[in-house]
Every structure is written in structure tokens, then in C-alpha cells.
Amino acid sequence: MFVSDLALSDYRNYREAVVRFDEGTVVILGANGQGKTNLVEAIAYLSTFSSHRVSADAALVRAGAPGAVVRAKVVRRDRPTVLELEIIAGRANRARVNRSPARTRDVLGILKTVVFAPEDLTLVKGDPAERRRYLDDLVVTRVPRLAGVRSEYERILRQRSALLKSAGGGRRAPTALLSTLDVWDGHLAAAGAELLAARASLVAELAPRVAAAYRDVSDGAGEVTLAIRSSLERAEDDVAPDGDLEARLLAAMQRLRPQELDRGVCLVGPHRDDLVLTLGDLPARGYASHGESWSLALALRLGAFGLLRAEDPDGETPVLILDDVFAELDTHRRARLAALVREAQQVFVTAAVPADVPAELDGQRFHVRAGVIGEDGHDG
């Protein structure tokens, strides 16, 4: 698949922008703060409905504008599909497919992207929330309907957390509150079990691909393993490990209720889990060198790319986005990454200067200056 056309209205620093892309490599050059990353961020947003840079959609709307519009033509199996998303600060997004109104969840999966960015280093060195987001974004890309499960889980978690806080840190909560909490326990366990199962299935299929990608990027310097560290494992020692996930979540919540009421927080569920990355015999977080951390971060993205490609019924590749990543890599890792991504049907590369783009990835070239896009290095 590839993106042939992109149009932006009031997105970030773009009042209006229209650009046409070729297959193969697309290089977007520009100094920091000029808008090159905003272009590729908009493409990725149509794929995941989230930004790899910010958590709130309000930041995507140009200052002073009521909303932003991102429109792209995506070509799959030689058939074009026009996706349009209206981002309205503080309100639900509105989507269209081929000019017809659509639910946003129906748009997910039409365009698939894999983004490499300097922020990826937090996948290895950062908090568990970064790795959970990596897993859940990939889960939704594989199975778009799970976007609804993810959103529902987050909604239920907020409601249950508010209820726990309202107990005021006491174990002698009113009977009515405890009864209501029982209801939310059931909702949280149902949605949480589905999310946990999807993550477990993903990691089982992803782990060998990440291990192979790490060997490719690092020339065989060490073995990588992936595993989920579940809050169930930390919370339960009297529930059979082969019991179903929903029952295990419910049992754990019941047993931990006194502590949850004391602390006013939910202590068990997917929001407490972590993806553990091990390099050799040691956890990567805290022990991997800077170079090893970068190799592992790249391997996580390459593993995702390989998995999505293998699962496509027509063998089409996701659109690859390499956002200012080459400036962060040494010469060896630059060359290895460039060689590994050339098999993609379309690769977007952003860089501050031409020297940051490996010669192997030369292709259609644009220059961005103050929100104005020019092809072949010329403004206009």
C-alpha cells in the first residue's frame, strides 16, 4: 500500500497544504520546527488516530482554528480509497471514506503505518506505559475492532478509579458503593480479559520477529526475548494459572479490594502490566547500552512491520515512516536500517539535512520551510 495524495487544513502549522507522493522513498527535508514531521504525523494519524508525539488531539489543530482536516488517498491492490478525518478540539472526530460518513473505527485498518522516531528510545528506557501503548497500538492495527475494547476499558477504568477514590481511603465503604463497585469489577474484567488475550497472542507472534530483527540490526550481538509481566502474576497466588482471564481478574480484584479502597486506585488489570525486554540474561531497561537500546527499539518497529506484512492477505507492506531517526544512529546502524526497510512499498524519511539520509534511500524529495512544501528542494 502507499499514500498517493495528502491534503491538510489547519493541521499544526499548515493552514492549507496539498501534496502528491510517489511509491518508493519519499524524503522530506527541513530545519527543526518547519513542519516536516507534521506531514508524516498526519499520515500516521489516519492509521492509528493517535500521534507519536503528543497525547492530546488539541495540539494537532492550528492555533486559532476550530478544527483540522486530514485527507489522504490510499492505494491498495491498485484501488484508491480516500480517507478523511476532521479533528475537532474537545469533541469526537468525524470520519469519511470515499466522501461518505463513516464511524472512526471503520477507518482503522485501511491504512497501516509503522513509525520510527527518536521517541522510540523510551520503548526500552522509559516507563511501562510506553511499552503498553506500543502493544495496544499494534493490537488495534492488527484487529481494528479492538480499538473499541481499548477505549471501553479506559472508560471503565476511569469510572472504577473515581469510585474507589470516593470511598475516602476507608475499608468500611457504604454497602451501596460496594455493590456498585461489584458491577464495575465485572465490566473491567470483561474488557480487560479481551485486551490481555490480544496482547498475549501478539507477543507470542511478535517475539521471534523482534529477536531476528535485533540480530540483523546488531549483527548478531546478543539475544532478545519479550514477555508480558502481568499484574495477575503479582496479585494472585491462589488462582490456577490456567483459569480463564476474566475469572482471574475478578478474583484478584475481590482479594485486593481492601488495598484498593485504602489507596483509591485499581491495582490489577492491563493498565498495570509491562512488556519486559531482556537482552541476554539481563533486563534491557537499566542494563542495555545506548547503542543496544537503539538496536532494540529499531527491532521492535521492524518486528511490527514484518508481522503486519506477513498477515496482509495480499502481502502488501505497511507504509514506513522514519521520522528524524537517522540523525540518532551511528553509521553502522544507519546502513543496516536502510537496507532492511527498502523492501517496503513506500518509505517516508524526514531529516534536517540531506547528509542524514542514506544514499540507499534516495527518492522523491521535498523541502519544507515555515509550513510551505516544495518539491526537489524548491519552495512553492
243: domain CATH number? 1.20.1050.90
| Residue 346 located in a structural domain | no
The model's pTM is 0.90
Residues facing residue 279 across a β-bridge: 224, 282
| Residue 23 located in a structural domain | no
| Residue 105 located in a structural domain | no
Number of domains in the chain: 1
Q: What is the pLDDT of residue 365?
A: 95
Q: What is the pLDDT of residue 237?
A: 47
Q: What is the pLDDT of residue 172?
A: 64
Q: What is the pLDDT of residue 235?
A: 64
Report CA-CA distances (Å) from 66 to 15, 58, 61.
Answer: 12, 10, 7
| Residue 54 located in a structural domain | no
Q: What is the pLDDT of residue 233?
A: 79
| Residue 53 located in a structural domain | no
| Residue 235 located in a structural domain | yes
Q: What is the pLDDT of residue 211?
A: 96
| Residue 229 located in a structural domain | yes
Q: What is the pLDDT of residue 236?
A: 56
| Residue 129 located in a structural domain | yes
Q: What is the pLDDT of residue 173?
A: 63
Per-block mean pLDDT, blocks of 10 residues, the chain (380 long): 96 94 95 92 91 83 92 94 90 90 86 92 94 94 91 95 80 74 94 95 96 88 90 62 80 91 92 95 91 93 94 89 90 86 92 90 91 69
How many angstroms separate the CA atoms of 31 and 351, rounded?
8
Q: What is the pLDDT of residue 78?
A: 87
Q: What is the pLDDT of residue 378?
A: 43
- Domain that residue 189 falls in: 120-311
Instruction: Label residue 198 left, alpha or beta by phi (over 0 means left) and psi (-120 to 50 means alpha).
Output: alpha
Q: Which of 339, 231, 225 lies closest to 282 in space, CA to CA? A: 225
